[in-house]
Structure 1
């Protein structure tokens, strides 16, 4: 805000020893002392009405925090900025919601504040009102258009840590404001089943603080209310604790019974440390809840419950457990070591903890065990009959479709294959061989030593295999290619983007274009995001530069050879294969009536890249090859260069070999664009395209 002439005059009359910082400090203190006279005096002496104190607090924000409406009016009248933010991004508007003053909220809204504006942590005024249980403020803000189901917005970095995403209802539940919770749900339609970025819903938030004495009563009341509203009882907190486990920790038998009566809960589900609800009850020596759980069918045959009861000298608990067939379980000294290096710690934890088996599968759905995110849900670590697997979970009907597709991949070398599956309680558990990294993660590692040509060979084959099954992938992103411990690459489609081709060439062409981008991404080692990489990023001094550039352009332009033909492209050839190809061409064309016609057909678009090759080659080599046999001089024509390569290699000369070393290395380095020029010239000339056929190793 620009200072007015009046303020400039006041500033000039202020004491010469008073700095702007001094005045700001005094103004803030006067506001916090609710001294209107002191505030007016300091403003007359030149204090900046928008100056900031510690934490970025402005006088207006301090006045709002003090709930002083008169000061708020005064400061706004003196030019206070209602949009100013503290260091944490909070405004006077969010402060007004915290104190619950509807008059101040309305006044600030009249100054143009956005009702859903949020601070750096994603808190809106509506969320703050819910957190502090300010019902009148909640009702006012809702009437003015506040989004009741808005989830807490956080930065991308914080979202990756699973922070944020909470709603006002979760805040009211967490802080135990039962009346506000009822208002949010019954009058404003708050969704009880929205989850935050850690997968927690309102019920989990309500029970998190329930163990504290001062929060117990409200947590129980909110819990019962949410159960009556149809809340999902199978959500977990960030430690894998279900609502049932949290209710047991609270030692609330009423809430435990209410949860069990829902009939939708897995009574034997465990947290990330392997503790079930019954184990928690035994640990807390709560016989009433333990008896209730046992009566409802909680398993007593795992978890060493008797040992825990004995350690606590809980004789009655031990008797209760034995009545329900619990046995003492000796400690297992076995030290199991997983094969996976990346997932070692998570797998060892999974191996140690108690989990109810799903057929032959042991799995724990928690963030720590989640290894991949998809639009269809997470993929988790698992142990199937002791084998390390990656597990995709879906409803049985959807899982059956997925299973049928993956069964088609059983004979494919580079498509993700199904290892095994299990069905339980309406869900399908698809198990896949465990991978170490996806392609995106692998290329981001500084120690990446991937043979890019070999990697692309596997990627090309994977897409060929998928097309042969009649599907286009439609999402060829590096995160959809997975690399196992041996370095083998597999293509997966966990987001279900694949589409039946059914004669639609545009779907195949779309995959080819995406493959071209992916190829550039691999060749540039993932230094740029997939959608930003271009041919300009290729290293021009790479020995495969010309072949790579041609292959990418062929993919993007939907070359008629298709993926099958392009899989035999010279890019994939070794140096010796390329040199052998160049030698063989002269042998094939020398018997023609006019060998030069091969490279001068009407469809040959490229011009010979080395029109003065005789000046580029080592002069001694050319002299030796021409003089002894008094052979026809070599001209700058491409056919003569091929004749020289063939003659030199078929009739080796020790002086030349000593001079240039390995023939293939020398010629391919001196004429790096020769192979692709000859190859394309033949393919573009229908009369001679068959001459380009060469036996190369299968992809």
Structure 2
């Protein structure tokens, strides 16, 4: 170490030892007040850790930064949340700390205070605006591993700080049913066994409290274990009894290994809990219970199982290959594991089997399905709506449904990916125009049923194995459009943003993409821009008319449209009235832009009088019509396909002519051009 490094190291040691005289002396000798030692600790962070308010003030007065971060992203303020010193928290806030600042793992000072049970600090931070239900933000890499997303309440539950849990829920309104990125709620965190606090504190009071406050008992941990299975693993009869009193508990639910609560109890040789489960009707024909009891040399367990008529029912895995490529591994796993059947449905609602939020893999009578789980009342309404979609081509249809214990299981034909995933797949073939045609058609079908969607986002468009796109409504935001034109208008505006999202390849989040992001080098740029602007400011065309917008026309249809206008409007005065503003015409010198040889041939036709083409739009349309009706071999050899040539040289012409016609009351019908491909 050089001299400066030695001084800085000594400064941090002096702060740790709370030796104020040494700190002052080292600062006078030139030690850096913002220097860092191992793992990025600064003197200020060390003083906060020690809870030494006087030292904190001294260092701040000497220029210590409250914004400096350790290697893990922690600041003096997040460290103060761990220490729980309210005066230091107050002081750091006065010096510019952010109440909700997070370290690299997403921890805030409020979360740290909850983790360490610092109740006074919790109350202070809440009074200053700390977000109670904030979920830990994870980096993209961590999120892919399903890490992050926990809340302060989950931390307090995991560390068995019962008083902090009560404060968070009763005084601060903490949501007991928020889930982290592994789909675990506060109840699951309270039942996890990996905390040192388990040696000294019982989770029973916290679990009982959460049950009283409406926590969802169906949540699972990262291994698919239910709260009941976790309670059995903890060998807590009190918790098992409390959970079994809840009607929502599925006593025969199993984890990803196929183990039920009873199988776990037998394996642990816990007769008291096994008896509780058997008396509550747990199935005894799953797993080789008697063999496990014999291997444990437990005669009492064997006797208990005999009382409940245990019989062996071995299962042999079937040789089966799913149709789905993407979900193959998880479907095979689902097929082979034990799961309690819901009618003809086999599903496992935990994060490894999740398709997207609220949607899980399933097998209904052996058919691969996507399963949406709702409460029965909502499910009945949803089922009634889905039955109306049965004749629609591009609205997601219901395959089957099942009901059990107040829940409705809606089963849909399984899809491979949603629109967002499709656009972001580097290997996927993407025909944006074809996809948008279907998206428009799907929304038209929904509107024809009398509903506006109100949640047009990429996750609600799903794509099956054959590449067919369907519109779903998993957010159930749809509204009746009867007498509610504003709902239709908001759908069209949302559709405009979705068009931008698709045409920019999903590179930006839906709410951030704008017209300026459209690729200018696209041959459809002008038409796409006009389509989006028309959706953002809907007019009399509505969705039906905009589905026939020039953006969707083929190049040949655009060319046919342009050259037909000269023939359809015979009166020269009428042509001039349609295109009355010469300044709006994007090509006022078009005769200089077109190939000079082409123009010469057209102005000097064989066996006809020479003619002259002016620079206005009607003359350009006349030339296009004459060229196509009197084809010249020399021109064809030079420019190739006429439609491709003109649309490349004059890319804004179609939109200009289309809008000019549309805005003229006597000729607006001519803009309603029928492209055979539509």
Q: Judging changes above 3 Å, is the alpha-carbon distance between structure 1 residues 142 and 524 closer, same or farther for their aligned structure 2 residues? A: closer
Contact in 2 for aligned 1:49/1:75 (Cα 8 Å): no
2:637 is the alignment partner of 1:658: yes
Aligned to 2:285: 301
Which residue is equivalent to 2:123? Answer: 142
Distance 2:451 2:169 in 1: 48
Which residue of 2 is the match for residue 355 of structure 1?
Answer: 339
Change (3 A) 1:656 1:37: closer
- The answer to whether residue 601 in structure 2 is matched with residue 623 in structure 1 is yes
The answer to whether structure 1 residue 238 and structure 2 residue 222 are counterparts is yes
Deviations 1:239-269 (A, max 9, x none): 2222211121122334323332444422112
Aligned residue in 2 for 1:669: 648
SS at match of 1:601: helix
Secondary structure class of the residue paired with 2:577: coil
* Structure 2 residue 236 is matched with structure 1 residue 252: yes
Question: How far apart, CA to CA, are the structure 2 residues paired with 1:132 and 1:193?
Answer: 19
Give the counterpart of 2:497 among 497, 517, 531.
517
Q: Is the 8 A contact 1:192 1:226 kept in 2?
A: no
1:696 Cα deviation from its structure 2 partner:
2.8
Counterpart mapping for 1:590-629 below 5 A? 592=570, 594=571, 596-601=572-577, 608-610=585-587, 613-614=590-591, 616-617=594-595, 619=597, 622-623=600-601, 626-629=604-607
Q: Can you list the C-alpha shifts for 1:559-587, whole angstroms capped at 9, x where unaligned? A: 32222122222322223333343454455
Residues 21 and 473 of structure 1, relative CA distance in 2, 3 Å threshold: same
* C-alpha distance 675-598 of structure 1, shift in aligned 2 (>3 A): farther
Instruction: Name 2:418's counterpart in structure 1.
Output: 438
Q: What's the counterpart of residue 137 of structure 2? A: 155
- Deviates most, 487-496 or 638-647: 638-647
Q: Following the alignment from structure 1 to structure 2, what is the Cα–Cα distance between the partners of residues 698 and 659?
A: 28
Bigger Cα displacement from structure 2, 452-461 vs 340-349: 340-349
SS, match of residue 239 in structure 1: coil
- Alignment match, 2:460: 480
Alignment of 1:669-688 (within 5 A): 669-688=648-667
Is 1:633 the counterpart of 2:611? The answer is yes
Deviation at 1:461, TM superposition (A): 0.8
Change (3 A) 1:420 1:50: same
SS of residue paired to 2:408: strand
* TM-fit CA distance, 1:212: 8.2
Q: Is the 8 A contact 1:176 1:215 kept in 2?
A: no
**Structure 1: segments with no counterpart, 5+ residues:** 1-16
- 5+ unaligned residues in a row in structure 2: which ranges? none
1:267 aligns with 2:245: no
8 Å CA contact 2:136, 2:150 repeated in 1: no
Instruction: Report 1:337-416 matches (<5 A).
Output: 337-373=321-357, 378-416=358-396
For 1:574 and 1:692, locate their aligned partners in 2 and report how far apart those are by CA, in whole Å: 15
After TM superposition, give the deviation of residue 455 of structure 1 in Å.
1.0
* Residue of structure 2 in register with 1:581 after alignment: 561
Aligned partners of 1:168 and 1:690: how far apart in 2?
A: 62
Q: TM-score, normalised by structure 2?
A: 0.84
Q: What's the CA shift string for 1:677-697, capped at 9, x where partnerless? A: 444444444434444555433
Which deviations, in whole Å up to 9, do the C-alpha atoms of 1:473-522 show, x marking residues without a partner?
A: 23322332222222222222222222222233333233223323322322
C-alpha distance 547-275 of structure 1, shift in aligned 2 (>3 A) = same
Alpha-carbon displacement from aligned partner over 1:110-135 (angstroms, at most 9, x marks no partner): 675679566514555565455445xx
Q: Give the conservation status (yes or no) of the 8 Å contact 1:174–1:206.
A: yes
Counterpart mapping for 1:16-415 below 5 A: 19-33=3-17, 35=19, 38-39=22-23, 41-43=25-27, 45-48=29-32, 51-59=35-43, 61-63=45-47, 65=49, 72=55, 75=58, 79=62, 81=64, 83=66, 87=70, 88-90=72-74, 98=82, 105-106=86-87, 109=90, 120=103, 121-123=105-107, 127-128=111-112, 131-132=115-116, 138-139=119-120, 142=123, 150-151=132-133, 153-155=135-137, 157=139, 163-164=147-148, 166=150, 170-176=154-160, 180=163, 184=167, 193-197=176-180, 198-209=182-193, 215=199, 218-220=202-204, 223=207, 232-306=216-290, 308=292, 317=301, 320-321=304-305, 323-373=307-357, 378-415=358-395
Segment of structure 1 superposing worse, 444-453 or 636-645 = 636-645
Would the alpha carbon gap of residues 695 and 116 (structure 1) be closer, same or farther in structure 2, given more than 3 Å must change?
Answer: closer
Give me the whole-angstrom Cα distance separating, in 1, the residues matched to 2:636 and 2:24: 96
Give me the whole-angstrom Cα distance separating, in 2, the residues matched to 1:547 and 1:323: 77
| Worse-matched range after superposition: 498-507 or 680-689 | 680-689
Please say if residues 126 and 138 of structure 1, whose CA atoms lie closer than 8 Å, have aligned partners that are also in contact: no
Q: 1:78 and 1:551 mapped to 2: Cα distance?
A: 60
Is the Cα–Cα contact under 8 Å of residues 44 and 59 in structure 2 kept in the other structure?
yes
Shift of 1:454: 0.9
2:539 to 559, 580, 603: 559
C-alpha contact 2:266 2:292 (8 A) present in aligned 1: yes
